[in-house]
Amino acid sequence: MHVPHQPLLESVPNVSVGRDAGRVEELLVRARAGIGDGATLDGSRAEIVDVHRDSDHDRSVLTFVGWGEALAGGLEALATASVELIDLHAGHGVHPRVGVLDVLPVVPLDAEPASRAAAHRLVARLAEHLGKVHEVPVVAYGLDPAGDPYPGAGFAGAVRRGGPATVLGRVNAGELFLLAGHHEVHPTAGVTLAGVRDVLVAFNVDLVGDDLDAARDIAARIRATAAGPDALPGIRALGLRLASRGVVQVSTNVERHTSCGPARVLETVHRLAAEHGIELAAAELVGLAPDTALGALRFAAARVGVPVLASEHASLDAACSRVRNSGA
């Protein structure tokens, strides 16, 4: 049965394993078992609605949608499995990381204030689980309970810079807030960043060839913090080399998709790549996106003539509707 006083939430944990398909599958098995165990406690519902495994990044992005004990149980089981099955020092992906459960965001999907409050309660619970049960330090990022960005920690990249020891050094200096756990890096699990954020679209653009300098230049020019005319609001970007594909990538987080969505990112990267004399190989959606962002992206991709690599069921709206109705 649906529990109406528990708003629908999304969580998109990033785990630091992508090359070992068997290990990722074990994480999923244990997370789904946790969902089932939680559901029996209060009749709640949760699903893992998408899994994006990337070998070059050596990272997997899992998307949970649900509420209540089912969602909390699944995420706690994933946290435990991540600490037990992954060694931070064994990964060699191109994506920066500070922990085996690197980033643990919770996203309120309902408009009422109770949804954001529920998201913060879930983050506090998960942080307590990681900190007390597994002795993994959990550092806050994203939005505070008042809805404002944590100073210096409004997004994961602002916290992650310098590695896990630097992160805890900033905690000890009072620059960052420790939600739970010790002030020492866990020897194999590192540090976890956890917090509440709004809906984010993870979107990448692959460039033909191996010009990493060009990818980094484009990423630097489109970032929201860039000083030039190509800066895009709410965009975080990195330039990376993907050896398995023989391409370089402009990897982005689209934080304000209603004002600057992945379609605008694609069109801007296409224009800037042309300035370097480089063509686009493909675009890639990591996880799910709202329908409004998806429609515009598909139109832009057709216009510039590149394929969009995405989950077969890439609509966040459809996933939310399915989970909500399945618990009715």
**Strands annotated E in 13-170:** 14-15, 46-54, 59-66, 101-108, 138-140
- Give the per-residue pLDDT at 95: 86
Complete domains list, the chain, with CATH: 9-198 (3.30.990.10), 201-315 (3.30.70.670)
Contact 284/52 with Cβ under 8 angstroms? no
Average pLDDT over residues 85-91: 91
The average confidence (pLDDT) of the chain is 94
- Give the per-residue pLDDT at 244: 86
* Structure token pair of residue 244: 């398995």
Among 1-10, 38-47, 240-249, 260-269, name the one with the lowest average pLDDT. 1-10
Average pLDDT over residues 211-235: 97
pLDDT band at 5 (very low <50, low <70, confident <90, very high): low
Contact 16/86 with Cβ under 8 angstroms? yes
Average pLDDT over residues 131-135: 97
Among 3-17, 31-45, 183-197, 276-290, name the one with the lowest average pLDDT. 3-17
Distances (CA, A) of 251 to 26, 151, 179: 27, 24, 28
Contact 289/202 with Cβ under 8 angstroms? no
Average pLDDT over residues 112-126: 95
Among 58-67, 111-120, 210-219, 249-258, name the one with the lowest average pLDDT. 111-120
Residues 158-196 pLDDT 10s = 999 999 999 999 999 999 999 999 999 999 999 999 999
- Give the per-residue pLDDT at 1: 36
* Structure token pair of residue 51: 């899994």
- Give the per-residue pLDDT at 172: 94
Using H for helix, E for strand and C for coil, what is the string for 37-73? HHHHHHCCCEEEEEEEEECCCCEEEEEEEECHHHHHH
pLDDT band at 91 (very low <50, low <70, confident <90, very high): confident
Closest CA to 24 of 86, 69, 77, 76: 86
Average pLDDT over residues 237-262: 95
- Give the per-residue pLDDT at 328: 57
User: What is the share, in percent, of the chain residues with pLDDT greater than 90?
Assistant: 91
- Give the per-residue pLDDT at 2: 41
262 has pLDDT over 90 = yes
Other beta carbons within 10 angstroms of residue 22's beta carbon come to 8
- Give the per-residue pLDDT at 327: 58
3 has pLDDT over 50 = no
